[in-house]
Chain A
């Protein structure tokens, strides 16, 4: 079973202060820490599990700068075989459909049974790249998958729907699956794997290498435009308790008990 897995390097902003930069169309990311996107980490694990069960190979595809190499090496250390990184500043990254076009160009014409992507990138959160990629490749897809059962020439997947219900879908291979978090338990990269990963092939490509005309994936060619970022006003009615941690805790306890909430 030959698998491509698409991974993206994203900032962890869950605890970070996010500020709009001077252009008004970006954010100041100088203080962010970056790592593999959460659902992509699960996609890597799923790809490696499938390879371990069925044989074949796993190739990584990533559109990003050299900063992504560390993340790619970690995925290689977990058992992926090789990687393609598309590094081209001419790609308009704001448009998920253009990103999908670039990723598709890296995969098209190669032999594959499955392409796995994450279901959502935690920074931009479009939830669009995987499904758009499938359409570019002309193969069936299923989004938000929590269980994969690969058979001969077909795959059965469990799509996780609202309320935790699963929709079971069967598809012919090759196919694209977007992976939801929690599908497996991502492993840590073993020390031996980290050493081996340094020797694995990481090919860096430009748009020309993929046969993609830069005009096609440029900002000018995009059918959407990001006009400006702004920090949303949080309408909070919350009463924020003040003081030292112990004082706040005590105050909260009193409010809960005396307010008749407990």
Chain B
């Protein structure tokens, strides 16, 4: 009893970071529930992943079948539903990733599982699991609990914690594939690589990042002037890219690029977790935002809480003066 299962996530020959993060959390939970950590791996010829997983799990359940070469929610659901019913884990964890959000809600509905989405922490209080999730884009946290009987299902947010070092050497158990034939009604076609642009912002030393706070495209020269004075490249939040102010190759965050510049100046960006994930590795972070509660300040080294339209022109002017 008390077993914690984790779905391993991989794509294009790579085990995704979320997998080891979840296994690290699972170990902490299982230590308290007195259960085992079990990794579930669906793939084709991914023995190396199974080998890696056993360093973090007491058992690895491995379905090795060419039909699982690429992710497909329908196939995953067909494999996981019977597996969950058979093993009845206390908790089943799936990444809150583009893969997990495409899969977990349907699995929850099919099996009528108590399901909590986008969990950032799992507490145990009097032996009961109490997941924490956020509302209003990180401004409020909420303690949740599961009702009814396990198995419980949750999706776990990426980069909520750092994966630990491997300290187990679990067994690898091959499980017969539950699929007899391919699924016709949803078919994987191909992966298409991300757009490449003129500047590779992952290589930039200094970045000025712009967000929705700039309001309109006609205000972009304000940012361009500042970038010129700083000899910086310009990038942006998803909101700035969706609005068409910058090209897709300039987007920073989970669905854009991960950057690690020496200096990152975030202007009018709230700091949604999807954005933070792409820039929190910057050496020095400066945030200019009129909302003192904006989550961007949680990762900033230097901050100005004020109207960017008043601050930015002055900043540009002063920089020009100082750098002559």
Interface residues of A (CB under 8 A from B): 11, 13-15, 17-18, 20, 27, 96-97, 100, 119, 122-132, 134-136, 140-144, 156, 158-172, 180-182, 185, 222-232, 234-241, 245-246, 248-250, 252-257, 261-262
Nearest B residue (CB) for A162: B254
Contact B314 A162 (CB under 8 A): no
Docked pose: A159 CA to B103 CA in angstroms? 13
Nearest A residue (CB) for B117: A126
Contact B189 A156 (CB under 8 A): yes
Contact A161 B11 (CB under 8 A): yes
The number of residue pairs between A and B whose CB atoms lie closer than 8 Å in the complex comes to: 273
Nearest A residue (CB) for B251: A164
Does B286 lie at the interface of the complex (its beta carbon under 8 Å from any beta carbon of A)? yes
The A-contacting residues of B in range 232-264, CB under 8 angstroms, are: 238-239, 241-242, 244, 248, 251, 254-258, 262-263
Docked pose: A27 CA to B137 CA in angstroms? 13
Docked pose: A181 CA to B305 CA in angstroms? 28
Q: Which residues of A contact B241 (CB under 8 A)?
A: 182
Known: A15-B290, A162-B254, A168-B192. A249 touches B314 (CB 8 A): yes
- Cβ of A155 to closest chain B Cβ, rounded Å: 10
Does B298 lie at the interface of the complex (its beta carbon under 8 Å from any beta carbon of A)? yes
Known: A234-B298, A240-B305. A166 touches B191 (CB 8 A): yes
Nearest A residue (CB) for B284: A261
Nearest B residue (CB) for A13: B136
Q: Which residues of B contact A128 (CB under 8 A)?
A: 101, 104-105, 108, 115, 117
Contact A141 B314 (CB under 8 A): no
Q: Which residues of A contact B106 (CB under 8 A)?
A: 131-132, 134-135, 141
Q: Which residues of B contact A119 (CB under 8 A)?
A: 101
21 example contacts (A-B, Cβ-Cβ < 8 A) are as follows: A14-B291, A17-B293, A27-B136, A27-B140, A125-B137, A130-B105, A132-B108, A158-B192, A163-B255, A166-B192, A168-B190, A168-B191, A170-B186, A182-B242, A225-B147, A229-B142, A248-B304, A252-B302, A253-B321, A254-B318, A262-B323
Q: Which residues of A contact B307 (CB under 8 A)?
A: 245
Docked pose: A252 CA to B108 CA in angstroms? 50
Q: Which residues of A contact B244 (CB under 8 A)?
A: 185
Give the 4 A-B CB pairs with smallest separation, nearest first.
A164-B194, A223-B114, A249-B314, A182-B242
